[in-house]
Amino acid sequence: MNACLDSRVLVKLYYPEPESDRVERRLFLHQAQLLFTSLHALEICNAMNLKLFRSEISGG
């Protein structure tokens, strides 16, 4: 099964957030292969930069 996820959901796979475990379990259960586009990459990069700006993560 292929899955095209919203970038907000993909961020949960890269950075622990509420619901991260649930997303991982569901993808594992369905053995989903993720479709990943250049737009996803841009949006995830922007989301992580926003977390850095908000001091939710460190830039170390």
Give the confidence band of 7 by pLDDT, cuts at 50, 70, 90: very high
pTM: 0.78
Asked if residue 49 is part of any domain, the answer here is yes
Give, for 58, the enclosing helix (H) or strand (E). Answer: none
Instruction: Give tens-digit pLDDT for 21-39.
Output: 999 999 889 888 888 999 9
Q: Are residues 19 and 13 in contact, defined by beta-carbon separation less than 8 angstroms?
A: no
Asked whether residue 9 is domain-assigned, the answer is yes
Query: Quick check: is 60 in a domain?
Result: no
- Report the number of distinct structural domains present in the chain: 1
Domain that holds residue 31: 2-53
